[in-house]
Chain A
Amino acid sequence: MDALIGLGLTAILLIATFIIGQKGERDHFEDLRRREARLRVMPVTTFETLPTGWEPTGSGIVTGSVVMSADYFKRFVAGFRKFFGGRLTMYEPLLDRARREAVVRMLEDAQKKGFDAVINVRIEGSRINRSGTEKDGVVAVEMLAYGTGIKRARKPVTPGTPKAA
């Protein structure tokens, strides 16, 4: 009887977190698409050096970071997947969202600071652990995107403009 009550509660939790989680994921992806489209005007590269011909009038560090957690439903499914091994596909949307959100926030930071482009962009992930000795240690991931914001003399940079002279 206790086992059945426990199972029922688990089922309710699973259904609720699945519905809420899926909705949150859909909304977030939509939001990302909108902001990414708006930020397309800002060149962003992983090169460490400035493209030739650029004459920066200013530079500075720009960062964007986000902390995200998977919902109960996904962690539940992942528990089974970890037993058999293989790709944890249920975590892929979470990490994709976190990476893109971090980059978008970095670009928004750059825009706010008046930069025209961001170079030498790096993305780093780290996990946030539960304190103590609890078994399921990881509660969330942090994704951090950072780079060097560049202010150019000749502005604004438009998409498709040749970088090198």
Chain B
Amino acid sequence: MRYEPRVPDESVNVSDVSPVRELGRLAGSLLAGLVVLGILIAFSVDIAVRLIPPDFETRAFADLQFADSGDPGRPDPRRASVQGLVARLAAHWKGAPYAFRVSISDSPELNAGAFPGGAIMVTSGLLAEVKSENELAFVLGHELGHFQGRHHLRRLGRSVLYGLAASAVLGQAGSAAQTGSLVTSLTERGFDRSQEEEADSLGLDLLNAEYGHVQEAGAFFARISESGGGARFLAYLSTHPAPADRALRLVRLAKSRGYAPRGTLTPYALVTAERP
């Protein structure tokens, strides 16, 4: 037997696969899969939400209470006044399936939100910036619009399922997790925008029904963003559309529905006078 000295054959144990192409293929298919999964979740949540009757939702979330600010023994007088305005607006929404409950959150931030079971949260910071009742009415009408589209439930369902999916699917692929969370947040934001426009649409209808004109629809947001509401306004902006686009869209919507763009404004003295 002869001994034949050889140098190693480099083509045997090392595959000729470009790692860059490998990354492109793998990351591409993972992203595509995530987008499909995100859309599937969104659709199945929408279907599930349609199957949940509002009265069941109200009972299920009856315990959901946002504590009013200040002394618990002395209810915030602003709450009753905002609650009254909500009731007047909701009266124009025939067959509203919720008994709306308003709570005032004592926070310098400017924000408002719709929560399961008919709970509406308004921050005291937002109330302090309001200049007329019409402004506040549009903000509240917008939140009522979220209830009409049942966005609060959809958002809740989606965020729960996205969270579950992210931890189940991406938890196994360490490096992929970051990319995945970005995709889910982008998808979610995209869906949010259409929900916001739906909510604005009802807000506008309610505003017109209550006051006979739609002056100050969206004016609040435009004014706050122009006056540099700054960091306190960030919370609202992160969950609502950009003020300029929004005001433009509202003007167009009002024109197409034949709503009067100008009218007398109702002062917002009632609430401010009673502020503790």
Where the two chains meet, the residues of A that have a C-beta atom closer than 8 Å to any C-beta of B are: 3-4, 6-7, 10, 18, 29, 33, 36-37, 40-41, 43, 45, 51, 73-84, 87, 89-90, 92-93, 95-96, 99-100, 135-136, 159-164
Residues on A with C-beta less than 8 A from B174 are 79, 135-136
Question: B30 to A95, Cβ gap below 8 A?
Answer: no
Question: A89 to B23, Cβ gap below 8 A?
Answer: no
Query: Which of A37, A40, A80 interacts with B173 by CB under 8 Å?
Result: A80
A93-B8 contact in complex given A83-B30, A163-B3, C-beta closer than 8 Å: no
Q: How many residues of B contact A (CB 8 A)?
A: 31
Query: Which of B3, B22, B26, B29 interacts with A45 by CB under 8 Å?
Result: B3
Cross-chain pair count, CB within 8 angstroms? 94
Question: B5 to A43, Cβ gap below 8 A?
Answer: yes
Shortest 9 CB-CB distances between A and B: which pairs? A79-B175, A80-B26, A83-B173, A89-B15, A89-B17, A40-B5, A76-B175, A77-B23, A159-B5
CB of A62 to closest CB in B, whole Å: 17
Is residue B52 contacting chain A, with contact meaning CB distance below 8 A?
no
Residues on B with C-beta less than 8 A from A95 are 13
Interface of A is mostly: helix
Query: Which of B5, B10, B20, B182 interacts with A3 by CB under 8 Å?
Result: B182
Task: Give Cα distance in the complex from A108 to B8, angstroms.
Answer: 16
Interface of B is mostly: helix
Residues on A with C-beta less than 8 A from B27 are 80
Question: A83 to B176, Cβ gap below 8 A?
Answer: yes
Residues on B with C-beta less than 8 A from A136 are 174
Task: Give Cα distance in the complex from A37 to B4, angstroms.
Answer: 13
Is residue B148 contacting chain A, with contact meaning CB distance below 8 A?
no
Is residue B132 contacting chain A, with contact meaning CB distance below 8 A?
no
Residues on B with C-beta less than 8 A from A100 are 8
Residues on B with C-beta less than 8 A from A3 are 178, 181-182, 185
Query: Which of B3, B8, B26 interacts with A77 by CB under 8 Å?
Result: B26
Query: Which of B3, B10, B26 interacts with A161 by CB under 8 Å?
Result: B3
Chain B CB within 10 A, most for which of A36, A76, A77, A82: A77
CB of B19 to closest CB in A, whole Å: 5
